[in-house]
Structure 1
């Protein structure tokens, strides 16, 4: 039996099984769902055992558990570690869902539910591809390990320590991940870079109380004025970050990488119009896809202070606040980046104002050379199933644990995604296009056999 025939004959049963998993509200960010996360882990462990995997364990961490399994029966062959996550995002706002988020429904070839594409649906592709090979051939062409966590949606706070503690158990020749997207329907992509991340909260205090702008206006510092002046100093007129040393470790784009970006065929006019903008904006000298895929950023995510109610209140606010995040590339160090931004702000704070800075998240960027042989095999596997070879892309988002996998396990990370950008991951009406579920199963089989 061909694998296409196998998956076609098992499709209905497999989708019903996936929907069972999707019904479990494994929201890692909400403590009231801690038991649901555990239930989802138990469901996953049972499914892996039924699929023929061995040494299945639900392994504790400082938070939600990791589900581990393996099948090590191919001496002399590579060992592949499959990583994914079984936790999901919160569902708010609930009123915007067309159908309840944990009552899966198939409509017009799409499976709707929270976690359908991020990441239960994509993890399930690997589970069923592995099961299919074991049933059809009695063994696997490579050694296989699975590390499936329950905290990705809250930043994987306990996974780096887990990786360090269990480094020998998780040792491998490659890490395989499906938590990214195709370029568009029918156009597969392999992500070769994810931006890192760092964040901070900034506040400015002036007087010990809000002041009347008639009695004190023009004679005392205004916290909002002081903060806005600071924030405006963070970029120059060409859209570059003006913080001294910010670009240390940022690689210049090679002609090959620029060629890969150009192959994506992104039409900037369409993006501008779809967003209702008069113009795009960003660092001078780079295209849209280069800016979001391969250049660092410093963004204001929130600025607030003073009176914000209806009408006018003639007040001089005593405090003002901002939330700042940076997307990092190359070898940029998140700690050094935060320290440099803080120094930039402290050196420029207005007389009479006091600055407080709280440094928060830190994650290094992930990068891999697209010419690596295992990525070439992955691109070929897509080509045999989709009829077009995968392009190599850089993703503007961050999956913080990817750099940790690459660094701690000293193994190439292969990001073979089967989602689409418009599938509402993290938003109401999340869904998974079942055409990519079907093709994903075949692609994973092709890839594992090619190794």
Structure 2
């Protein structure tokens, strides 16, 4: 039995439709972690398809209550082959973002997988059910071909990532020994381009907060009171305009990182940022003296996610009492997360906006992490993917999005290597979420090859 045998087996798994059928079963679980009514579905996802599949593969499985009250459960599965072998940690999340069912185009449903041409549509296909299914199926192909993995393996599936992974850090602190490993190899996020494998070794952090201007009780007639009562929406708009300039360049001094060093610039220099399926990059937006790739992966970005004042769906002739903007800072290593909101408070006060309140959101904070592209485990994984695919992968120091990578990098103290199986135009967190069949098939082959190599070769220690 050879590596090629395992790759052929996983190719057949996809080509016969077995992957699509299994993914359809996972998508059918309505695991919206942002919807309190779906808490039973989150537990059922762990108890049924995840525990069943991993148990068949010789893993011992245990579902743990979340250490944070009302947060969602965590599955830990472990297969121990020998104390002399390396241990690989695999992570995924079974929860999905809100379905947004009424916004999907005709003929699609978030919880019914549908294949159209080269795409598989359904909530969780890209984020993250399809991705952790690819990794588990690739593990199984190696196990069935060789009769053993050739390494120890721990799998963690959480169900609260879309609400900021509450309790995950506390859980890892309490279970370090049970979850200990030599390296994390996991999958989330997109490839830079669909046809080329991607590696990333960390992620930007993310912090969401509200800016609120609350001036009085109730709205008042705009004819009688216009010009006499301060307009909270205008105050808020002016406050937002002091956070960035007209092209979105950050003006809060502490939000401008100093960690875009020469080695990070070199790692990002030749990487693509656009593909034919995604929107065109606005060249006149963002930090003027940075390349688009540096802006996305090496710099901080501020966004206004939503704004309200009055009743947008049914405006009335009144000066509103309150305005609110939900905002977000995506930040790189080198930005102190504890100083993000205090720095904003000082900045708003200095510009005369003491009436603007800064309220942290309840969702968890994602920390920024980064691993050197020259780390031995990065070289090992990149070499395996290159041999299997015949092309070198794109290698990023960190993802532009946010993940709970700090629980692995900081709490467990292990290197983290992510191999995504989606692409940037997959509509994750939006209606019509989908994956490309070509990327799924390729991902299955790459991961079967990688897991084979880990069990067959000398790995970094």
TM superposition score normalised by structure 2: 0.87
Contact 2:11 2:445 in 1 (8 A): no
* 1:130 to partner: Cα distance: 1.5
Match status 1:31 vs 2:36:
yes
Q: CA RMSD in A?
A: 2.8
Q: Report 1:258-277 matches (<5 A).
A: 258-266=265-273, 274-275=279-280
SS in 2 for 1:371: coil
Contact 2:204 2:368 in 1 (8 A): yes
Q: Report 1:148-227 matches (<5 A).
A: 148-206=157-215, 210=219, 221-227=230-236
Q: Which residue of 2 aligns with 1:349?
A: 352
Q: 1:290 aligns with which of 288, 294, 299?
A: 294
Change (3 A) 1:116 1:300: closer
Q: Which residue of 1 aligns with 2:56?
A: 50
Contact 2:193 2:272 in 1 (8 A): no
Q: Bigger shift: 75-84 or 216-225?
A: 216-225
Q: 1:125 aligns with which of 118, 125, 134?
A: 134
* 1:73 to partner: Cα distance: 1.4
* 1:209 to partner: Cα distance: 5.5
C-alpha separation between the residues in 1 aligned to 2:45 and 2:340?
38
Q: Which residue of 2 aligns with 1:111?
A: 120
Q: 2:46 aligns with which of 41, 45, 49?
A: 41
Task: Please give the per-residue CA displacement for 1:237-257, whole angstroms capped at 9, x wherever unaligned.
Answer: 67542224333x540331x43
* 1:420 to partner: Cα distance: 1.3
* 1:329 to partner: Cα distance: 0.7
SS in 2 for 1:263: coil
Contact 1:349 1:355 in 2 (8 A): no
Match status 1:329 vs 2:335:
no
State the 4+ residue runs in structure 1 displaced beyond 4 angstroms: 207-220, 236-239, 274-277, 306-312
Q: Bigger shift: 386-395 or 232-241?
A: 232-241
* 1:158 to partner: Cα distance: 1.9
SS in 2 for 1:377: helix
Change (3 A) 1:323 1:372: same
C-alpha separation between the residues in 2 aligned to 1:200 and 1:153?
16
Q: Which residue of 2 aligns with 1:19?
A: 24
Segments of 5+ residues of structure 2 without an aligned counterpart are none
Task: Please give the per-residue CA displacement for 1:329-355, whole angstroms capped at 9, x wherever unaligned.
Answer: 1131222111110222234335xx733
Contact 1:74 1:140 in 2 (8 A): no
Match status 1:391 vs 2:400:
no
Q: 1:301 aligns with which of 292, 305, 330?
A: 305
Task: Please give the per-residue CA displacement for 1:40-95, whole angstroms capped at 9, x wherever unaligned.
Answer: 111210111112x3221122214322121112213333211101111222221335
SS in 2 for 1:96: coil
Task: Please give the per-residue CA displacement for 1:78-124, whole angstroms capped at 9, x wherever unaligned.
Answer: 21110111122222133525333322233324333222222111111
C-alpha separation between the residues in 2 aligned to 1:229 and 1:110?
43
Q: 1:146 aligns with which of 131, 147, 155?
A: 155
C-alpha separation between the residues in 1 aligned to 2:316 and 2:61?
63
Contact 1:198 1:338 in 2 (8 A): no
Q: Which residue of 2 aligns with 1:85?
A: 93
C-alpha separation between the residues in 2 aligned to 1:176 and 1:60?
24
Match status 1:228 vs 2:237:
yes
* 1:317 to partner: Cα distance: 4.0
C-alpha separation between the residues in 2 aligned to 1:232 and 1:163?
40
Contact 1:239 1:284 in 2 (8 A): no
Task: Please give the per-residue CA displacement for 1:219-271, whole angstroms capped at 9, x wherever unaligned.
Answer: 65443343333222223467542224333x540331x4323323224469x89
Change (3 A) 1:187 1:336: same
C-alpha separation between the residues in 1 aligned to 2:135 and 2:391?
21
SS in 2 for 1:340: helix
* 1:212 to partner: Cα distance: 5.5
C-alpha separation between the residues in 2 aligned to 1:68 and 1:145?
7
Change (3 A) 1:225 1:60: closer
SS in 1 for 2:139: helix
Q: Which residue of 2 aligns with 1:407?
A: 410
Q: Bigger shift: 74-83 or 284-293?
A: 74-83
C-alpha separation between the residues in 2 aligned to 1:378 and 1:82?
14
* 1:391 to partner: Cα distance: 1.5
SS in 2 for 1:446: helix
